[in-house]
Chains A and B, each alone.
Chain A
Amino acid sequence: MKRKDFGRADLLFDTVVYAVLLVLIVVTLYPLLYVAFASFSDAGKLVAHTGFLYAPLGFSLEAYKSVFKNPGILTGYRNTLFILVFGVAVNLIVTGLGAYVLSRRGVMWNRFFMIVIVMTMFFSGGLIPLYLIVKDVGMIDTLWSTIIPFAVNTFNLIIMRTAFQSVPESLEESAKIDGAGHMTILLRIIVPLSMPVIAVMILYYAVEKWNGWFYASIFLKDHDLYPLQLVLREILISNSTESMSTDSSNADRFQIGETIKYATIMVATVPILCVYPFVQKYFVKGVMVGALKG
């Protein structure tokens, strides 16, 4: 009797579990599907429509044509690519060097450096002083302003240092006996043995660069330097789709403006969502590596 009761309670329990997860899946996926449907929809029909979308309303590629005709999107992609490539390179070099030095044992100042660096995680001068520094260094209105002031992420530095520390010392010792200098040890021994963590670091930094818009918005005034996310902000938030459809009437412009927004979201997001199932496990690994540090 008792056993049977438990069986029933467990069944109820299972039902609740699956129901909650189903709701979660729908709530998460539907907005993304809606964007996809809307972007392919006929502009007039979309504006007239109320309620849910279960498929595109009609089929039109007008919005996508406008998006790709927009010079802002292309320069945005170009600038983001520049920031991504050079930014991540700078990140890896500076963070890697720091992590290597700080992982060495018996260097007199390392404890001090560590404290100085960790402190910055908890206390900062604030936004305005940072802006003034970047201005004084002369980086305003250059793409470097989105790279150099963010060369090291302290949290990533600590993760990388922990990983470097766990490389067996005996390997380095034997390399040293063979006459290897620090650079050789770093590049030939530490880096190859820490590849998983380095992959995670590349991903973390790349995402940071790809998504960054705020500092670009305060450091860059020249529209030709805008990274993709800033261009997106203009289209999605500040509502300036008009510039993208100059050859149509006012009413049309408003209508197509709606579909242009959705098409823009697609163009900017689909590449990421395509990549992420493949790299997802590295991100997950990254969260865990970070967590171990606690």
Chain B
Amino acid sequence: MDKSAASRAAAPADVRLRSTSGFIARFTRDFAINKYLYAMMLPVIAYYAVFHYAPIYGALIAFKDYSPMKGILHSEWIGLANFRDFFTSYYFWRILKNTLLISFYTLLFGFPAPILLALILNEVRGRFFKNFAQMVSYMPYFISLVVICGMIVSFTNNGGVVNNLLTHFGYDGQAMLQKPGLFRPIYVLSEIWQKIGWESIIYIAALTAIDQEQYEAARLDGASRLKQMRYITLPGIMPTITIMFILRIGNLLNVGFEKIILLYNSVTYETADVIASFVYRKGLIEFGWSYSAAVGLFNSVVNLALLIGANRMARKLSENSLW
């Protein structure tokens, strides 16, 4: 965006003069010159219209009593009834709480973990060991979610490795995924296990940009390695951390619901069911189209608000923001 704005500002004066001569004229002229470009753009326009904007229009069914027979347009308006039902239902607080808690724990433990890994990797001097550790750390990222969840199910089952390990420490073995109290720890830990290496890449990249002379200067001043890490390395990657943090906040409510759907069951709904999994269940399994669409819309709106809020906060607190 910024680039096209810049090029427009840099356009020769006569072009800008002509551009004031009426929108229609400008449009036909532009179209005549660029008609092949518009033709090339057609599939993209069609794609976004059908699969992104039509669903946004389709979200109108949240305000309607949608019936597949009548279609979106002809179904009856019922105003905010679906939202009212949702906000007053027993599920509302449960799934909101679960969504916020799971997001919060993932943020609290999952966000700093890759930063720590990057800082630690940065301190390794042996090249071979460093590369090996790095390669191993992002291996799990390449395993599909279904397989990861299959492994989690097997390992935490009665008789699975994790369960066995914990029995050594006096925990009595039980299928852990049947226990509501354990769902969140399992979710968060496995999330870190799978993504820590992958997410650290971006910080490692940022680290390479730090000026090496700063370290030399610090060493001359007698700063220990820990101090160098704290006063040079960490501030050096702070801008990257801020940007990543904003992006994370913007996605706060987009909990990895695919993983939840794979791991939860009716016994653990009370701690595991989040907004997205609820939308999925109510809408696609129980066919409560309109109600479910209302819940989904609520999710989207809250997310957007969070993103805007996080961005504003970041701009206030630091120099960095998304826009």
Residues of A within 8 A of B (CB): 2, 6, 9-10, 13-14, 17-18, 20-21, 24-25, 27-29, 31-32, 34-35, 47, 50-53, 93-94, 97-98, 100-102, 104-111, 113-118, 120, 122-133, 137, 148-152, 157, 165, 181-183, 207, 210-211, 213-214, 218, 229-230, 232-233, 235-237, 258, 261-262, 264-265, 268-269, 272-273, 276-277, 280, 284, 287-288, 291, 294
Contacts and interface: CB of A to CB of B under 8 A. Distances in A.
17 contacts: A18-B129, A24-B136, A25-B137, A31-B161, A98-B41, A108-B26, A113-B45, A122-B250, A124-B52, A125-B55, A126-B297, A128-B284, A152-B47, A210-B144, A214-B261, A272-B144, A288-B201
A124 B55 contact: yes
Interface of B: 1, 3-5, 7-8, 11, 26-27, 30, 34, 36-38, 40-41, 43-45, 47-48, 50-59, 61, 72, 117, 120-121, 123-124, 129, 132-133, 135-140, 142-147, 149-151, 153-155, 159, 161, 164-165, 167, 193, 196-198, 201-202, 205-206, 222, 224-226, 240, 243, 250, 258, 261-262, 276, 279-280, 283-284, 289, 292-293, 296-297, 299-300, 303-304, 307, 322
Nearest to A24: B137
Contacts of A294: 243, 322
Contacts of A128: 58, 61, 279, 283-284, 289, 292-293, 296
Given A17-B120, A269-B147, A287-B205, A125 B57 contact: yes
A129 B147 contact: no
A269 B144 contact: yes
B56 A125 contact: yes
Contacts of A211: 144-146
B296 A126 contact: yes
Contacts of B196: 24
A129 B151 contact: no
A108 B18 CA distance: 13
Contacts of A284: 201
A52 B162 CA distance: 9
A182 B276 contact: no
A130 B147 contact: no
A44 B276 CA distance: 40
A108 to B, nearest CB: 4
A25 B140 CA distance: 11
Instruction: Please provide the 7 A-B residue pairs with the shortest distance between their CB atoms, ordered closest to farther.
Output: A236-B150, A126-B296, A125-B55, A129-B58, A98-B44, A129-B55, A108-B30
Nearest to A30: B161
B43 A94 contact: yes
A232 B133 CA distance: 29
Of A6, A21, A100, A268, most B-chain CB atoms within 10 Å: A21
A283 to B, nearest CB: 8
Given A107-B30, A236-B150, A165 B3 contact: yes
Given A98-B44, A107-B34, A115 B280 contact: no
Given A100-B40, A127-B280, A128-B279, A52 B258 contact: no
B52 A120 contact: yes
A232 B150 contact: yes
Nearest to A97: B40
A165 B5 CA distance: 14
Given A50-B164, A232-B150, A265-B151, A24 B159 contact: no
A169 B164 CA distance: 63
B61 A51 contact: no
Given A52-B164, A130-B51, A265-B150, 16 more contacts: A9-B226, A20-B120, A24-B137, A28-B139, A28-B197, A31-B161, A104-B34, A109-B38, A123-B300, A127-B284, A128-B283, A129-B58, A129-B59, A133-B54, A150-B51, A183-B40
A144 B48 CA distance: 17
Given A34-B161, A126-B293, A213-B145, A182 B59 contact: no
A218 B285 CA distance: 9
A106 B33 CA distance: 10
B226 A13 contact: yes
Contact of A113 (B41, B123, B144, B155): B41
A27 B38 CA distance: 53
B275 to A, nearest CB: 10
A28 B222 contact: no
A287 B118 CA distance: 15
Contacts of B303: 122
Contacts of B153: 236-237
A277 B205 contact: no
Contacts of A52: 161, 164-165
A114 B5 CA distance: 12
A111 B9 CA distance: 13
Contact of B150 (A6, A109, A261): A261
A159 to B, nearest CB: 14
A57 B213 CA distance: 55
B72 A132 contact: yes
Of B139, B222, B226, most A-chain CB atoms within 10 Å: B139
A180 to B, nearest CB: 12
Contact of A126 (B30, B59, B117): B59
Given A100-B40, A133-B55, A149-B51, A31 B150 contact: no
